[in-house]
Amino acid sequence: MKKICVVITNRAHYARGKLVLKAINEHPELELQLIVAGSALIDKYGNIMTKIEEDGFKINKKITMLLEGGTPTAMAKTTGLGLLEFSTAFENLEPDIVLIRGDRYEILAPAIAASYLNIPLAHIEGGDVTGTIDESVRHAVTKLAHLHFATNELSKERILKMGEIPENIYNVGSPDAEFLNSQDLTFNPNEIWKGETIGVGERPDLSKEYLIIIQHPVTTEHKKSKEQTEETIKAIHELKMPTIWIWPNVDAGTDELSKAVRVYRENTEQNHIQFVRFLDPTLFAKLLKNAACIVGNSSAGIKESSFLGTPAVNIGTRQQGRLKDKNVIDVSHDSEEIKGAILKQIKNGNYNQSELYFKPDTSKQIANTLAESKIKVQKRLNY
């Protein structure tokens, strides 16, 4: 049995990666090891421990590692602490492969720990191009990783160009798109909130056209977090449409961003916006599919929305360079531009489903590749 250690450091990691965990768990030659760490353990960012256990996965190790402050230093130290702890975890769990995903800053910790311990590293979502520190993190991880699961053809080619060995690079499609494809997304606006406790305040009327907002700080511009957020708030405030606003990730700039949201919330009379910390992934998928528009700078506005055909307004540099379909309109941090683009998207209505990020059997392909691949620990640039 090959031991595959999957690292989850973030609520979204889990939501989007569930099918991969399942495919590994069910593969006859693979044994799943699960480490839950960082913001995934923090209640206010949506502690997912209970959900994971309800879904039937065993957690092998919890790692408390998130520093407070929402500053670049806090990000760097969270990663340093993670590196210390993942080293111990891997030394004790002795996995055959470590599997990580994405480009959040803290994943360099398990990436380095695995590399230095001579444990082959597999990485989902390499080769994309975006803004923020994620851009540096993602490609650095590619240079440490042995097995690359790109989510689209363009990214696969970029990984190849960066000098990785062709037989270790796969385009398996995005687990996010696969997840969406696997869900019953029937939408009943009157039943949607039932049994969910998703935040304080009145709930917006989803039988009308509504918006979803997800705006993360851009770490490389973290000092502008407040003003960037205020532009989005201004646009949304003026539109007065029912809106679901989802809290940001924990990055440098999060505190300024959250503060801007909080100041607005506490000082402004409004009852059309519902602020939520964390949504069950299926619920989120339903809401996204039926939204008039998703607004902000989350990759959900590029990847998931392309598959669902949801119109998207993408603000600023965070997703700059990422492969986009025509459902996305790019705008800068300007409330008028944002408002204009939203109105244009609403007028346009839904787009056709895009196959840019979709392939069938993404998770099974990942599991099979993990089971079959023979990896050479010593890496070598392919030119």
Give, as ranges, the residues between 341 and 380 that touch a copy of itself (CB under 8 A). Answer: 377-380
Give CA 199 to chain center in angstroms.
21
What is the C-alpha to C-alpha distance for residues 19 and 364, in angstroms, rounded to an integer? 9
Task: Name the residue among 245, 207, 210 with its Cα closest to residue 229.
Answer: 245
Using rule CB under 8 A, residue 125 touches a copy of itself: no
Piece in contact with a copy of itself (CB under 8 A), picked from 105-113, 176-184, 352-360, 361-369: 105-113
> What minimum distance in Å lies between the beta carbon of 350 and a copy of itself?
32
> Is residue 94 close enough to count as binding a copy of itself by CB under 8 A?
no
**How far is residue 89 from each of residues 34, 92, 112, measured CA to CA in Å?**
11, 5, 13
Taking the complex as a whole, how short is the minimal distance between the CB of residue 57 and a copy of itself, in angstroms? 16
18 binds a copy of itself (CB under 8 A): no
Among 17, 46, 82, 311, binds a copy of itself (CB under 8 A): 82
Instruction: Name the burial class of residue 189, with classes exposed (0-12), middle (13-18) and buried (19+) by CB atoms within 10 angstroms of its CB.
Output: middle
Q: Residue 54 class from Cβ within 10 Å (0-12 exposed, 13-18 middle, 19+ buried)?
A: exposed
- Give the CB-side neighbour count of residue 338, counting CA atoms within 13 A: 26
Regarding 24 and contact with a copy of itself (CB under 8 A), the answer is no
Site string for a copy of itself, 62-81 (x = CB under 8 A): xxxxxxxx-xxxxxxx-xxx
Shortest reach from residue 143's CB to a copy of itself, in Å: 4
Judged by CB under 8 A, the stretch of 95-103, 249-257, 325-333, 337-345 that binds a copy of itself is 249-257
Q: How far is the CB of 187 from a copy of itself (least distance, A)?
A: 28
Q: Applying CB under 8 A, does 133 fall inside the site for a copy of itself?
A: yes
Beta bridge partners, 149, equal 124, 170
Residue the block writes with tokens 């505190």: 255
Q: Give the dihedral sign, CA 316/320/322/324.
A: positive
User: Could you tell me how far CA 39 lies from the centroid of its own chain?
Assistant: 13
CB of 348 to a copy of itself, least distance (A): 29
Alpha helix segments (H runs only) across 162-253: 175-182, 225-239
Q: Which of residues 28-67 bind a copy of itself (CB under 8 A)?
A: 39, 41-44, 61-67
250 forms part of the interface with a copy of itself (CB under 8 A): yes
Residues 262-321 that bind a copy of itself (CB under 8 A): 263, 266-267, 317, 320-321
C-alpha 20/C-alpha 35 separation (Å) is 14
Binders of a copy of itself in range 135-174 (CB under 8 A)? 135-136, 139-144, 158, 161-163
Asked if residue 83 binds a copy of itself (CB under 8 A), the reply is: yes
- CB under 8 A: which stretch of 84-92, 282-290, 324-332, 357-365 binds a copy of itself? 84-92
- Least distance (Å) between residue 72 CB and a copy of itself: 4
Interface with a copy of itself includes 226 (CB under 8 A)? no
Q: Where are the alpha helices (DSSP H) in 117-224?
A: 134-144, 153-161, 175-182
| Cα 133 to Cα 317: distance, rounded to the nearest angstrom | 11
Cβ-based nearer residue to a copy of itself, 290 or 299: 299
Query: Residue 318 in 3-state DSSP?
Result: coil
